[in-house]
């Protein structure tokens, strides 16, 4: 049973991998120039710093480029919304490009802080910021990235957009704090986990999508679709992330596996597994802090349907995200938003 479940997961992943690769290639190709402008503008935004130590520390994570997933989604959504408005020019505006840039800067700032909190060792296959720059400078560099992103955001001059992105910060902090706790009962625990997941991961995608829709001048119903698309995509993304922590390898991920358990975190695979193995409850409540807790939880997840159910739940959210994208006027970009969603389920890192 255990072997069948895992091999089914990998077979599905493998068969979708080639399509998924081409989907992301197409999506990136269509916004390639804008993505280049995003990275170039981030460089300039941080380059103004007159304190060399702070400047170089804040530029560190941007040197080894990440997936640029958040700006990619925001830029595609911007173009899809511009087309929904039947504008003669559907090109991304400077303001929309700024939202895409700010989304990457906020994301990176949170990673710098998160790596300190998690006492991580590697990120994207290289030593984490605080091991290179020291904890204090690393924390300040996260603050500085956030400060520069706020300045860039204010230049848009749209208070509604500023408010949306400010809500992202509110959400991220609360999500991270929620992750420190859990709930007594199984049902409450799962609801807590899902709310944490929205706040920590999906809120940035949801509100960035809503912001670019607003800047396109779309109706309320279209900006709601944009928000819901980002929300569903983000939740699916995190569920798959939580699954990869059990099925991927550290080489592929660029960070250690079973990291969540070692940090005391009970994610969807463990929460589902606890329905089959109620003895996991006490381990979850003590955050896998006693000898062999991590190993016991790992085995329980692998021997249960926890991974398959996590994948099924992610598939439900991807399906909802597809429905949202289908609600936008049909365009090459809306089709690519759908292709991106499908890629989530087959991603390896
Ligand atoms: C990565 O989680 C962390 C986040 C997505 C959000 C972190 C949020 C904060 C530190 C609080 C807000 C901070 C600011 C600057 C507003 P993970 O540990 O699950 O992922 P990982 O495995 O990639 O480290
Ligand atoms: Mg972390």
Confidence of residue 185 (pLDDT cuts 50, 70, 90): confident
Nearest protein CA to atom 9 of ligand 1, as residue: 110
Radius of gyration of the chain (CA): 20
Q: Is the predicted pLDDT of residue 25 greater than 50, yes or no?
A: yes
Of residues 34, 47, 37, the one with CA closest to residue 82: 34
Q: What is the pLDDT of residues 60-108, one digit of tens each?
A: 999 988 889 999 999 999 999 999 887 667 899 999 999 999 999 999 9
Nearest protein CA to atom 7 of ligand 1, as residue: 110
The CATH number of residue 166's host domain is: 1.10.600.10
pLDDT at 17: 34
Q: Which ligand is nearest to the CA of 170?
A: 1
Q: Which ligand is nearest to the CA of 112?
A: 1
Question: Does a structural domain hold residue 2?
Answer: no
Q: Which ligand is nearest to the CA of 61?
A: 1
Assign 122 to helix, strand or coil.
Answer: strand
Mean pLDDT of 28-32: 89
Question: Does a structural domain hold residue 296?
Answer: yes
Q: Give the count of domains, the chain.
A: 1
Of residues 155, 156, 132, the one with CA closest to residue 56: 132
The answer to whether the CB of 223 falls within 8 A of the CB of 214 is: yes
Please identify which residue in the block is written with the tokens 């749209």.
158
Question: Does a structural domain hold residue 1?
Answer: no
Question: Does a structural domain hold residue 219?
Answer: yes
Q: Is the predicted pLDDT of residue 301 greater than 60, yes or no?
A: yes
Q: Is the predicted pLDDT of residue 294 greater than 70, yes or no?
A: yes
In percent, the amount of the chain with pLDDT more than 70 equals 90
Atom of ligand 1 nearest to the CA of 238: 19
The answer to whether the CB of 172 falls within 8 A of the CB of 106 is: yes
Record the pTM.
Answer: 0.91
How far apart, in whole angstroms, are the C-alpha atoms of residue 313 and residue 301?
16
- Residues within 5 Å of ion ligand 2, judged at the Cβ atom: 114, 118
pLDDT at 250: 65
Question: Does a structural domain hold residue 167?
Answer: yes
Question: Does a structural domain hold residue 292?
Answer: yes
Q: What is the pLDDT of residues 224-278, one digit of tens each?
A: 999 999 999 999 999 999 999 998 766 666 666 688 999 999 999 999 999 999 9
Distance 202 CA to ligand 1 centre (A): 12
The answer to whether the CB of 227 falls within 8 A of the CB of 210 is: yes
How far apart, in whole angstroms, are the C-alpha atoms of residue 265 and residue 260?
5
Helix residue spans in the chain (DSSP H): 2-30, 32-47, 52-63, 69-84, 94-117, 129-133, 135-155, 159-178, 186-197, 203-216, 220-247, 250-253, 259-262, 268-276, 280-285, 293-303, 306-327, 332-344
Cβ of 118 closer than 6 Å to ligand 1, yes or no, is yes
User: For residue 120, how far is the Cα from the chain centroid?
Assistant: 18
Question: Does a structural domain hold residue 169?
Answer: yes
Question: Does a structural domain hold residue 91?
Answer: yes
Atom of ligand 1 nearest to the CA of 179: 19
- Tell me the residue range of the domain where 155 lies: 7-344
Nearest protein CA to atom 23 of ligand 1, as residue: 111
Per-residue exposure over 9-32, b if at least 16 CB sit within 10 Å of its own CB, e if not: beeebeebeeebeebbeebbebbe
């Amino acid at each position: 049973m255990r072997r069948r479940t895992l091999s089914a997961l990998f077979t599905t992943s493998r068969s979708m991998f080639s399509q998924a690769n081409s989907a992301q290639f197409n999506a990136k190709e269509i916004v390639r120039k804008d993505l280049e402008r995003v990275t170039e503008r981030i460089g300039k935004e941080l380059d103004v710093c007159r304190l060399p130590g702070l400047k170089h520390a804040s530029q560190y994570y941007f040197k080894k480029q990440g997936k640029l997933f958040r700006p990619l989604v925001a830029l595609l959504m911007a173009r899809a919304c511009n087309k929904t408005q039947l504008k003669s020019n559907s090109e991304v505006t400077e303001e929309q490009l700024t939202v895409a840039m700010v989304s990457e800067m906020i994301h990176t700032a949170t990673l710098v802080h998160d790596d300190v909190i998690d006492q991580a060792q590697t990120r994207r296959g290289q030593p984490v910021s605080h091991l290179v720059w020291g904890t204090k400078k690393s924390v300040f560099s996260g603050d500085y990235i956030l400060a520069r992103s706020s300045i860039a955001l204010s230049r848009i001059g749209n208070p509604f957009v500023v408010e949306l992105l400010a809500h992202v910060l509110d959400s991220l902090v609360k999500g991270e704090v929620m992750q420190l706790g859990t709930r007594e009962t199984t049902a409450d625990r799962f609801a807590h986990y899902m709310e944490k997941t929205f706040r920590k991961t999906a809120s940035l995608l949801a509100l960035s999508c809503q912001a670019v829709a607003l800047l396109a001048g779309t109706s309320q119903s279209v900006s709601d679709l944009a928000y819901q698309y980002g929300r569903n995509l983000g939740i699916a993304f995190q569920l798959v992330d939580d699954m990869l922590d059990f099925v991927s390898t550290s080489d592929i991920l660029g960070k250690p596996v079973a990291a969540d358990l070692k940090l005391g975190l009970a994610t969807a695979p463990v929460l589902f597994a606890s329905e089959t193995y109620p003895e996991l409850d006490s381990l979850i409540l003590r955050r896998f802090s006693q000898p062999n807790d991590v190993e016991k939880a790992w085995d329980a997840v692998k021997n249960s349907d926890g991974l398959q159910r996590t994948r099924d739940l992610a598939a439900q959210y991807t399906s909802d995200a597809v429905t949202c994208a289908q609600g936008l006027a049909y365009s090459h970009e809306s089709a690519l938003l759908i292709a991106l969603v499908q890629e989530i389920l087959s991603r390896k890192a």
